[in-house]
Structure 1
Amino acid sequence: MFDYMFSERYTSAVILGIIFGLVARLFTLQTDYRQYPTYPHGRIIHISLGIIAAALGAVAVPALFEKDYTAVTFLTLAAQQFREVRNMERETLTKLDEMELVPKGPVYIEGIAMVFEGRNYLAIMSALVTSLLTVLFNFYIGVFGGLLSILLSRLFKSGKSLSEIAEVETADVRVDGFNIYVGDIYIMNVGLKTSQEAIAKHGIGIIYKPKNQNGRVTLSNMGQRQAILHDMSTVLGAYRDSGEPSLVPLAKLDLKDGRLGVLLLVQNADLEKALSSAKQIPLLESAVRMPSEA
């Protein structure tokens, strides 16, 4: 078998490219606390798209070596197809978000859709690198290049978290008359006594202190704040039901220093778990602002 692989370099390049491109997609395909993509059908869809992406990247190299420049056209069509994947994910997640007690918000949804599109391009890259090295050198160099591309794909698997732009700490939830505070940050006004008691019992306060001007502007983004509320409510369990506007988690800024106070109403009031989760909230690419660079 190995003699055949060495003699038929194009064949081995395509086979290795597809294998390592698919493996790269599998490494970046993860169902976590967000429960998306779902088991098993959601994962089947993305694995199938990963195979298509890997095949396109693997076949492109032998085609170009044979001066079949229409291969570039296929890659262009693939890019168009994966943009449609992004649109599909956006539409699906937007419809699902309507049923959430604490929704993700459009900025978070756009970020997730962008990630699914980008990871198909990572599969193409892994297949392309593996196939190219196999054609230029040999089978073993192709395998080495495939393994290296998978490691690089894992580096791009996860983005930054909020702990990189802000210091995170827990704070007391204080009910002062009709006013609700997280630490010294005013959150909202609640008139019903039963709602005040529920907030005092199930409320958890988190404060984000921005490390610089960039972090301050990023935390003020409404989409980033909604992502915090959604992820924290998902991990800790939201204590609310539909038709109860007073029992809604909120995030408000202290306009004096840019701190963000977060009020969460949760079923599992574990402060240590809440603090750990708050630090790992993803930093949304669409919410990042860098005024200091300007």
Structure 2
Amino acid sequence: MSHFLIANKQLLGVLLGMAFGIIARLLMLKTDYRQYPTYPHGRIIHISLGVIAAALGAVAVPALYSKDYTAITFLSLAAQQFRDVRKMERETLTKIDSLELVSRGATYIEGIAMVFEGRNYLVIMSSLLTSLFAVMVNLWVGLLAGGISLLIVHHFRSGKTLSHIISADTAEVRVDGPDLLVGDIYIMNVGLKSNQDIIRERGMGFILTPLNANSKVTISNLGQRQAILYDLSTILGVYRDDGEPALIPMAKLDMKDGRLAVFMLPQDKDKRKALKVIGRVPILESAVRMPTEAKVNKQEG
């Protein structure tokens, strides 16, 4: 048995690397409330890409051992392919978004596309590390390296959520004449009495208070606000149809202190569930701003 392992060390290292790369991709593959990737065909596409990424990462090690340095060009080609995947996801989601009652928004779409590209690189990293240690040392060390790489993958599988940067509370939805307010924050003008009656009956409001200066700028981003509205509408449903602009969910800032008022008409009027949904909305990487890290602010501090 030991003679077989030694004689086929590189082959077994490649197979082990591929196995851990595929496991890493399966760990990161989840169809959730957004129904993306779709099941089963969307999943098949991403699993297939994961297998390709795992094979590329695993094969690179024995190729370099054989002093076949052109193998690096395959990794660069893979990077180009995965960038094309990101572009494909962006275009697909943008087309679908125009048919949603409450859209995701360009920032949310770009975040999803970026995640799918980045996860393929994590698969390459996992298979490369596993194959490297299996070939350099032995299969047992390769297994250990593969296990550690899966822990790294699990850590980077998801980012922070809004609960890290804001505190959310319910607020009264008021219709004062034609003016719609959530708490003390003005939302919009509602002229039709029929719409005013629907808002009084079904309206829900929330106030999101930023915890610091960075979070104040982040939640003011229009893409981040749209992500909040999309997640709420997807999970709780939305009481509107196409061509009813007065019933569309909205999020408006209090210009004085940076609080964000969220107004919506849900199908499921469960305030506790809504607060949980808001807390679990992902912080979009493209929306994150850190003004406190600027040198001028540090000098003032």
Normalised TM-score (structure 2): 0.96
Residues 1:173 and 1:3: Cα distance change in structure 2 (over 3 Å): farther
- Partner-residue secondary structure (3-state), 1:292: helix
- 1:92-171 residue pairs with structure 2 within 5 A? 92-171=92-171
Q: Which runs of 5+ in 1 are unaligned?
A: none
Letter in 1 for 2:232: M
Residues 1:166 and 1:74: Cα distance change in structure 2 (over 3 Å): same
Please list the CA deviations of residues 54-112 of structure 1 after superposition, one character each: whole Å capped at 9, or x if unmatched.
00000001111111101110000000000000000000000110110000000000000
- 1:281-292 residue pairs with structure 2 within 5 A? 281-292=281-292
Following TM superposition, where does structure 1 have runs of at least 4 consecutive aligned residues deviating by more than 2 angstroms?
Answer: 1-7
Q: Which runs of 5+ in 2 are unaligned?
A: 295-301
**Residue 5 of structure 1, CA deviation:** 3.3
1:206 aligns to what?
A: 206
Give yes or no for contact 1:10–1:62 (8 Å, CA) kept in 2: yes
Distance 1:12 1:215 in 2: 49
Distance 1:216 1:253 in 2: 10
2:266 aligns to what?
A: 266
Residues 1:199 and 1:4: Cα distance change in structure 2 (over 3 Å): farther
- The number of residues matched between the two structures is 294
Distance 1:185 1:259 in 2: 9
Give yes or no for contact 1:133–1:141 (8 Å, CA) kept in 2: yes
2:298 aligns to what?
A: none
Please list the CA deviations of residues 14-57 of structure 1 after superposition, one character each: whole Å capped at 9, or x if unmatched.
00010000000000011000000111110000000000000000
1:22 aligns to what?
A: 22
Letter in 2 for 1:13: G
Distance 1:3 1:57 in 2: 26
Distance 2:124 2:2 in 1: 25
2:293 aligns to what?
A: 293
Letter in 2 for 1:278: I
Distance 2:170 2:5 in 1: 59
1:252 aligns to what?
A: 252
Distance 1:6 1:239 in 2: 66
**Residue 2 of structure 1, CA deviation:** 6.8
2:216 aligns to what?
A: 216
Quote the RMSD (CA, aligned, Å).
Answer: 1.0
Distance 2:63 2:55 in 1: 12
* Identical aligned residues as a percent: 63
**Residue 148 of structure 1, CA deviation:** 1.2
**Residue 206 of structure 1, CA deviation:** 1.4
2:297 aligns to what?
A: none
**Residue 277 of structure 1, CA deviation:** 0.5
Please list the CA deviations of residues 175-221 of structure 1 after superposition, one character each: whole Å capped at 9, or x if unmatched.
11111111111111101111111112221111111111111111111
1:38 aligns to what?
A: 38
Please list the CA deviations of residues 149-172 of structure 1 after superposition, one character each: whole Å capped at 9, or x if unmatched.
111101111111011111111111
2:185 aligns to what?
A: 185
Residues 1:198 and 1:2: Cα distance change in structure 2 (over 3 Å): farther
Residues 1:2 and 1:227: Cα distance change in structure 2 (over 3 Å): farther
Give yes or no for contact 1:6–1:139 (8 Å, CA) kept in 2: no
1:231 aligns to what?
A: 231
Letter in 1 for 2:178: F
Distance 1:140 1:21 in 2: 16
Distance 1:215 1:61 in 2: 43
1:79 aligns to what?
A: 79
Please list the CA deviations of residues 215-248 of structure 1 after superposition, one character each: whole Å capped at 9, or x if unmatched.
1111111000011100110010011100111100
2:197 aligns to what?
A: 197
Distance 1:19 1:5 in 2: 17
Give yes or no for contact 1:203–1:266 (8 Å, CA) kept in 2: yes
Larger displacement relative to structure 2 (223-232 or 200-209) = 200-209
Give yes or no for contact 1:18–1:55 (8 Å, CA) kept in 2: yes
Distance 1:215 1:181 in 2: 23
- Partner-residue secondary structure (3-state), 2:243: coil
Letter in 2 for 1:114: M
Give yes or no for contact 1:20–1:126 (8 Å, CA) kept in 2: yes
